Structures are given as structure tokens and as C-alpha cells.
Amino acid sequence: MKYFAVLFSLFCLSVEVQARPVSYPEGWTLIVTNDENTNSALIHYSPTAKYSIGLRHEYFREAGTHVDTVQLNNLLKRWNSGGQQANLYLQSGVGGVLDDGAYSPAAFTGIATDWETRRYFTSYENRFFWSDDSEKFIQQEARLGIAPYIGDYGDLHTWLMLQANYNTSKDDSFTLTPLVRFLKAGTLVEVGYSFDNNLHFDFIQRF
């Protein structure tokens, strides 16, 4: 398991934070993400703990394009072991891009994986984005995190994290963002500020 975590940490390099893109059976999740390139919102429903389906809207500020997709997240494999958990997901979406008043088809797919204990966290995910009209690109994101203290269920949990992003659609494609994660029950908030001076804000609510 340790090698699994190290491997993905080394493989590093915006994919929105999904923090478990599949929820509990019959659970709804709202995910809002704002980073150096994108504003996005995803609401998804998990019929089982194995997959979720949702609607996603993204706005790419630099390009001025809006992307609307139906997104399917599949939990391909979960490893539960004592006080640790690892997951492998497939995330895919189909929909359209609104650019200069015209819609064109778009799709994306990618994998996401994470390994987590109550003290340490690491994750990696990628996304291959394709549209008929605008550019194609690959986004990658990796994270390392540590919890400075361990709380029990219902406490306010705090994580210190470092996120690395690589995006082939941008000139300055590599970004490092230190951030702080707060998690309490079904609510997660993340605030960060990247080394190239961009605010990062995520909000997740599980219902």
C-alpha cells in the first residue's frame, strides 16, 4: 500500500477536486470548484456506492467557454485495510461546449485515485478533454496532505495539502497550490493560494 501511495505521488502533475466522486447509496453531492483556470459546479447522485451520475457546468475563464456535461463516475476498485483506504475511479462525461454563441460536442474521461489514512492523504487524477470545436487538452492533478491533529467523527478536521496541476492547454502549465482543507460531517471546504497568485476555493456538501 505504501508503494501505491508513493507511486502516485511521484507521478504528479486542473482537474477539480472530487474528494470521493461517488457518495453513499442514494446520496446527493454538490461540488463547487474555483481555481486558476476554471469555475465549475457538479451535482451528482449515487444510486449505489459503486457509481454516481451528475450534471456538471464548467467555465474556462481564459478561453471564455462554457462546458455542460452529463458525468458518470465509477468506483472501479476500493481497498479497505485497517485504518486506510484506497480508491480507483473512472470519470467520464459527454455534453457540449458553448463558445462564441455556438454549441459543439464535447467529452472527457480520466482516472482518479487516492490513498488515505486519518493522518496522510495522497491523490492523483487526470482528464483527457475533447471537443469538436475548441482545443483538446490533458489535465493532471496530484496532492499530498497531512492532518496536524486527528479528530473523531463530527469534529472539525483540518488538512494541510500541496496540490500540483499540469494542464497542456496553458502556457504556464505547471502550478503548485498550498491549501487548507476543513472537513466536518458532510461538509468540506478548501482554501488555497497558488504560487502564481491565484485563489483556490472548493466546497463539497454531501446530502
CB closer to other proteins out of 6 and 150: 150
CB closer to other proteins out of 101 and 154: 154
Neighbouring residues of 132: CB distance < 8 A, sequence distance ≥ 6: 97, 104, 105, 106
Q: What's the grid cell of residue 125?
A: 487524477
Please give the residue ranges that form the binding site for other proteins (CB under 8 A): 19-20, 23-27, 48-50, 75, 78-85, 116-118, 150, 152-154, 157, 183-186, 188, 206
CB closer to other proteins out of 56 and 157: 157
Q: What are phi and psi of 9, to 5 degrees?
A: -70, -40
Number of Cβ within 10 Å of residue 148's Cβ equals 9
The nearest distance, CB 109 to other proteins, in angstroms, is 23
CB closer to other proteins out of 85 and 198: 85
The nearest distance, CB 184 to other proteins, in angstroms, is 6
CA distances in angstroms from 194 to 34, 153, 173, 175, listed in the order given: 12, 30, 13, 7
The nearest distance, CB 107 to other proteins, in angstroms, is 27
Q: Report d(CA 76, CA 18) in Å as an integer.
A: 15
